[in-house]
Amino acid sequence: MARPTKRILVTGATGQIGSELVPELRKRYGGENVVVGGHKRPPSADLAETGPFETVEVTKRDTIEAVVKKYGIDTIYHMVAIMSATGEKNPQHAWDVNINGTYNIFEIARENGIRVFHPSSIAVFGPETPRENTPQETVLKPRTIYGITKVAGEQLGEYYVRKFGVDIRGVRYPGIISNKTLPGGGTTDYAVEIFYEAIKNKRYTCFLRDDSTLPMMYMPDCINATLQLMDADASGLKHHTDFNLAAISFSPKELAAEIKKHIPEFTISYKPDERQKIADSWPKTIDDSAARKEWGWKPKYNLAEMTKDMLEVLGKKLRPA
């Protein structure tokens, strides 16, 4: 049995998901027990004011070890990663962070009996994967360096579970839509940018084709899934590091139509760039029945609810009264 969670380190804590995961973890476990780990981006005021921040560079093992020792860390949410589009610009750096960084985390977890959440992605899939209702067990032949490192991370994690009994868990996140911190360099980022542009300029030029359907998820569902999997009883889990996870699938055209219901003047145009090729290699819809069965996953937000909430929250943020 794993020790109960008391002291947490979140790597990549200032990123898109980390910056919303940390406040939830701090609510649950107390601000002082959740360490924000980062090194490039300084923490936002609310992260800085509600608990500790430490410089953690996952490629430098000693920076992780120092924090683990100082705080008696028992759980790591390893959120840092170089995403799909950025990874293609510097594959060597993506390999270093995503592979060597993750190896350091897993090794430190093995040595110290630490539980780990290690997210994977729809980027593990490739053109040979069935694109509709993509099964849990399927072809994993990604074409991006990001996808390749995520397949390796899933496999290495599963190996550590079986070989060393380390408690490592993870889901294949779809594109995550959020309104607090911008995503960094992914192929699904258009689905966040579009909201900012719709509110500010009433128009958006999309870097994907109008019919590029991709699996997506609103941040509250993403946070729930993450915490729910980490809370799940280990005895119920047949999978560990590679759960398919789904909520909503839509194309840019469908999202634009939904936004138009709230902002009738909104217009969209399309100028596909190199990210189109990546999108074309990923699934449209995902079968997440293993997650539903093994740990009770169920999303809350559909396209209409997500769009309404995004526009409300961002509207207040970008047009303060």
Q: Which residues are catalytic?
A: 146
Residue type, 79: M
Span interacting with ligand SER, options 25-33, 64-72, 180-188, 240-248, rule CB under 6 A: 180-188
> For residue 226, how far is the Cα from the chain centroid?
9
- Specify the residue for token string 């090794």: 107
Three-state DSSP class for 261? coil
Helices (H), 183-245: 190-200, 219-231
Which residue's CB atom is positioned nearest to ligand SER? 186
CB of 83 to ligand SER, least distance (A): 4
CB of 29 to ligand SER, least distance (A): 26
Which of 77, 173, 195, 218 forms a contact with ligand SER (CB under 6 A)?
Answer: 173
Which of 104, 121, 178, 249 forms a contact with ligand SER (CB under 6 A)?
Answer: 121
* Residue 175 near ligand SER by CB under 6 A: yes
Q: How is residue 316 annotated by DSSP? A: H
Comparison of 114 and 286: residue with beta carbon closer to ligand SER: 286
Comparison of 146 and 204: residue with beta carbon closer to ligand SER: 146
Which of 123, 166, 225, 310 forms a contact with ligand SER (CB under 6 A)?
Answer: 123
Locate 241 and state its tokens: 């590091």
Interface with ligand SER in residues 230-289 (CB under 6 A): none
* Residue 83 near ligand SER by CB under 6 A: yes
CB of 68 to ligand SER, least distance (A): 27
CB of 175 to ligand SER, least distance (A): 5
Give the β-pairing of 115-117 and 75-78: parallel
In angstroms, rounded to a whole number, what is the distance separating the alpha carbons of residues 114 and 215? 31
Buried b or exposed e, range 114-148, using 16+ CB within 10 angstroms: bbbbbbbbbbbbbeebebeebebebebebbbbbbb
Three-state DSSP class for 99? helix
Comparison of 53 and 196: residue with beta carbon closer to ligand SER: 196
Locate 61 and state its tokens: 């093992």
Give the residues lining the site for ligand SER (CB under 6 A).
83-84, 121-123, 146, 173, 175, 186-188
